[in-house]
Amino acid sequence: MWHYAFKRLLSAIPTMFVIVTLAFFMMRLAPGGPFDKERALPPEIEQNILAAYDLDKPLWYQYLKYLGGLLQGDFGPSYRIRDFSVSELIAQGFPASLQLGATAMIIAVAVGVSLGTVAALRQNSKVDYAVMTVAMTGIALPNFVIAPLLTLVFGVYLSWLPVAGWGEGAIANKILPVIALALPQVAYIARMTRGSMVEVLNANYIRTARAKGLSERLVVVRHAIKGALLPVVSYLGPATAAIITGSVVVETIFSIPGIGRYFVLGALNRDYTLVLGVMVFYAVLIILLNLAVDLIYGLLDPKVRQH
Amino acid sequence: MDAVLTVENLNIRFTTPDGEVSAVNEVAFHIGPGESLGVVGESGSGKTQVFLSIMGLLARNGRVSGSARYHGRELIGMPRAELNELRGARIAMIFQDPMTSLNPFLKISKQMTEVLITHKGLSEKAARVRGIQMLERVGIPAAKSRFDLYPHEFSGGMRQRVMIAMALLCEPELLIADEPTTALDVTIQAQILELMAELKRDFNTAIVMITHDLGVVAGLCERVMVMYGGRVVETGGVSQIFYEPRHPYTLGLLRSMPRVDRSRGQALYAIPGQPPNLQALPSGCAFRDRCAFAFERCARERPPLTPAGAGRLKACFKDELTKEALA
Amino acid sequence: MSTVTRDALAGMAEVKGRSLWQDAWRRLLHNKAAVVSMVILAVMALLALFAPWLSPHPYDEVYWERIAIGPDFANAHWFGTDGNGRDLFVRTLYGARVSLMVGVLATGVSLIIGVAWGACAGFFGGRIDNVMMRIVDILYSLPFMFFVILLMVIFGRNIFLIFIALGAVEWLTMARIVRGQTLSIKRREFIEAAHACGVSTAGIIVGHIVPNVLGPVIVYVTLTIPQVIITESFISFLGLGVQEPLTSWGVLISEGARQMETAPWMLIFPASFLAITLFAFNFIGDGLRDALDPKER
């Protein structure tokens, strides 16, 4: 188990390294960016950037300084938003994004697994087709289509829920964004759970469990679930990436003050440091979360746990 | 003494995208207490499906009709809750591949104790004691320390022993063994068969040994039932079957067993032709295309299962077979 | 040839053979959803192709006197006009052009990269395979969307850059699938038989491996196209995709969402087109998957 964990950690580090290095070089290549000699900038920003990036020093010095800064959580000054460093902006946006993302993830897993299991147990019945059709909808329709439609129905026509805004974190404001963000993942997870549950239920060892006279409930809950859920656990990694990606759109549509929205604003304003900073932040976050998921998987699968 | 299992007119049909397939037709037999029956046939002969249907383990697209009574209680169509009281407790089944037949995610201890807890209401502690005892009984060394291991930590032969132990925990009256040694190598095979013979003696369990290998039947079984193309083609005592086979297929099976005492130059015998396509069975006798004794009546009529001596049945129009005729 | 083999071969000739593809095609045609979807996609493709001829209005012509009006049949504005007074019907069709083109071409790029990568990894096996797949594993968990947007921000919103960027993002799963298939086929007996008969490595790849890998690849291609279309729409929705006056469904949906309360048709028409297209691709992909490997069900 430790060997496995160690291996995983080992591969996480070079990945982060690669991303960070890539970010560093992208910054310097960007036309019209902070490092473009032809730029025309307001003097305060020019000063900030010179100070932050030591543009007159050799490249390797800049690189090491950049790395050092990152390790301390410093992503540099925002290129467009004066008086704020990128890390300050990220810190500001983090709570909203975290609430949104974490809630969406929890709902996605809970609802997805339940629906998928029910569909698998009633294979080829009406319930199964209904669940799979809803799942298809969630997968085929992107959240930037679902979000406005949900808002149209529940916010405008029915006026049950606020159309936009975070409202200091009021629950009513959270419902639509969380649903819009979670829906595609509910769909994926439901499908995946159904598929793997059906496969497991056809496995020889389930036949043995039935032959032993165990109740169907025991067969599913004690014997089938573990095998069926392993692929879902593996999927949690990409699921996190998908939720983070989706949050960009959802935060924009619902005007939620999260990191995603800063990213979009930064992209539209060509605020390179902000955009890169957010990207590196998210990438590192995802790598760490993936590592956590890998470790959980290792704990669950006895074949891995042993070695 | 009433029979442990009485099967009459068992038919199994499968619905496939290519149409309906009749996998098992008019199968009938009975098993008395402590008796051992060998069920022999190629893959596709229906031998496994017969017993899966009796145990309620048939695939979703299968339909079974007929009767299978356990001490007078009808198993076909029995509600699952009732069937679960019998499965694992009074009638047990073990399967061909122990690696895939044991749950890789649960410890052996869990997989064994749950049988005792469910059927005998034992406590976890008491169930563990019984479980370890049974592991020792089937010849697993250092059973206590191995009890909490996972299936992948056992070797193939040991896994099969674990399966046997698991099946015998409640001392069932009938044990159905579906090709338990096919996936193991020959020396282990011998050990497992010896184990089963011992257990049969000690627990007086009736055993059904499903196999395609006549050699396996010889040591363990008292009676033999030969199946071909979804039907029973011959039944009888094991010596009768071996020394006086009455069906050409049985004869073919006997001849194709490799023998140490034949001269090395002789080619191995194989029954000519292919196992039948159940969706396109030949008219009359299903075996006739591969039969050296076939005559024109075999193409017109299907031979019914008829008595051929004491306790013997055969489905063949030919009265007697002579080995010389095949040379 | 021994008695056994000769008779076995004779027996095999009896059973009528059916090629895998014929079987699959027949199964696909039984799948109503898939068939309907294929028809819908064909219609969609035709609409996109003949867009300029299907409406009297050019896609970038502004009608100052008819801004944001609903469906107006008198003036041949079948879907109404957008916030700038341009005909929505023709813009939706042009959006179809862009979205479909990006979908197909970017998937093509990912196909080429993915197949090449996966086939090499699977075929050569061993350390090369380990390294190559490790890279895929690492890249798989990263949110490439951000990277694509970053490229857009830095290098401008060139439509060709979009193709390549999107293709470069989607190849990972393709590589995995192709590698898995290659590995399993490599080990099968008929490859050894071909080797034994002296067929060259290239011959084996083309003649044996490719036809067998094709199945899952086709399924995946059909399922990747909608993914790419979604990604492109996503970045266009944020305003980071195709440039004005060109449009894609993502852009139209974004504009529509903003005007949703007063002019819902601006959202509903392009959103419906996008949704229908995505559903169609997904149904076909699912249908293909069921047709080629019925065990999956």
For C186-248, give the DSSP string.
Answer: HTSHHHHHHHHTT--HHHHIIIIIHHHHHHHHHHHHHHHHHHHHHHHHHHHHTT-SSPTT---
- Give the residue with greater pLDDT, B233 vs B318: B233
Beta carbons of A207 and B94 less than 8 angstroms apart: no
Q: Residue B256's closest chain C neighbor by CA?
A: C4
Give A99-122 pLDDT, tens digit per residue.
899 999 999 999 999 999 999 888
The contacts of residue C189 (CB under 8 Å, 6+ apart) are none
Distance, CA of B246 to CA of B321 (rounded, Å):
6
Distance, CA of A19 to CA of A283 (rounded, Å):
8
Does residue A264 have a pLDDT over 80?
A: yes
Does residue A274 have a pLDDT over 60?
A: yes
Q: Residue B53's closest chain A neighbor by CA?
A: A211
Please report the residues numbered 146 through 185 in chain C whose beta carbons come closer than 8 angstroms to any beta carbon of chain A: 146-147, 149-150, 152-155
Please give the pLDDT value at position B301.
84
Specify the pTM: 0.78
- Give the residue with greater pLDDT, C75 vs B15: B15
Distance, CA of C46 to CA of C100 (rounded, Å):
11
Please give the pLDDT value at position A103.
92
Contacts of B273 in chain C (CB under 8 A): 7, 11
Distance, CA of B12 to CA of C217 (rounded, Å):
38
For the ranges A103-107, B85-89, B154-158, C184-188, the lowest mean pLDDT is seen at C184-188
Distance from CA of A289 to the nearest CA of B (A): 24
Give A49-89 pLDDT, tens digit per residue.
666 666 666 777 777 777 777 777 777 777 666 667 778 88
Contacts of C2 in chain B (CB under 8 A): 267
Other residues' Cβ atoms within 10 Å of the Cβ of residue C63: 15
Does residue A163 have a pLDDT over 80?
A: no
Name the residue facing C154 among A29, A253, A283 (closest C-beta).
A29
Distance, CA of A7 to CA of A1 (rounded, Å):
10
Q: Inspect the interface and report whether the beta carbons of C237 and A144 lie closer than 8 Å.
A: yes
Q: Inspect the interface and report whether the beta carbons of A222 and B114 lie closer than 8 Å.
A: yes
Q: Inspect the interface and report whether the beta carbons of A226 and B115 lie closer than 8 Å.
A: no
Q: Inspect the interface and report whether the beta carbons of C15 and B277 lie closer than 8 Å.
A: yes
Nearest to C174 by CA among C117, C227, C128: C117
Q: Inspect the interface and report whether the beta carbons of B274 and C27 lie closer than 8 Å.
A: no
Contacts of A151 in chain C (CB under 8 A): 260
- Give the residue with greater pLDDT, A172 vs B33: B33
CA distances from B125 to B63, B114, B122, C126 (A): 41, 11, 8, 48
Please give the pLDDT value at position A32.
61
Contacts of B105 in chain A (CB under 8 A): 226-227, 300-302
Give B245-301 pLDDT, tens digit per residue.
888 888 888 888 777 776 777 777 788 888 888 877 888 888 888 888 888 888 888
For B9-77, give the DSSP string.
Answer: EEEEEEEETTEEEEEEEEEEEEE-TT-EEEEE--TTSSHHHHHHHHTT---TTEEEEEEEEETTEE-TT
Distance, CA of A210 to CA of B58 (rounded, Å):
11
- Give the residue with greater pLDDT, C147 vs B71: B71
Other residues' Cβ atoms within 10 Å of the Cβ of residue A164: 14
Give A231-261 pLDDT, tens digit per residue.
899 888 888 888 998 898 888 888 888 888 8
Please give the pLDDT value at position C3.
45
Does residue A305 have a pLDDT over 70?
A: no
Q: Residues for chain A: how many in total?
A: 307
- Supply the mean pLDDT for chain A: 81
Write down which chains contact chain B via at least 3 CB pairs under 8 A. A, C
Confidence of residue B92 (pLDDT cuts 50, 70, 90): very high
Low-confidence ranges of chain C (pLDDT < 70): 1-20, 141, 189-192, 194, 199-211, 293-297
Please give the pLDDT value at position A275.
82
Confidence of residue B309 (pLDDT cuts 50, 70, 90): confident
Q: Is C125 helix (H, G, I), strand (E, B) or coil?
A: coil
Please give the pLDDT value at position B114.
94
In B170-230, where do the E strands start and end?
174-178, 206-211, 223-228
The contacts of residue A199 (CB under 8 Å, 6+ apart) are A228
Q: Residue B17's closest chain C neighbor by CA?
A: C27
C133 touches chain A (CB under 8 A): no
Tokens of B135: 């592991």
* Ramachandran region, residue B19 (left: φ > 0; alpha: ψ -120 to 50; beta: rest): left
Q: What is the 3-state secondary structure (H, E, C) of B270-295?
A: CCCCCCCCCCCCCCCCCCHHHCCCCC
Tokens of B104: 């890789």
Distance, CA of A12 to CA of A234 (rounded, Å):
16
Q: Please provide residue C63's backbone torsions phi and psi, each rounded to the nearest 5 degrees.
A: -105, 95
Cα angle value B86/B89/B91 (rounded, 5°): 65
Distance from CA of A208 to the nearest CA of C (A): 21
C276 touches chain A (CB under 8 A): no
Name the residue facing A213 among B89, B100, B106 (closest C-beta).
B89
Residue A180, amino acid: A
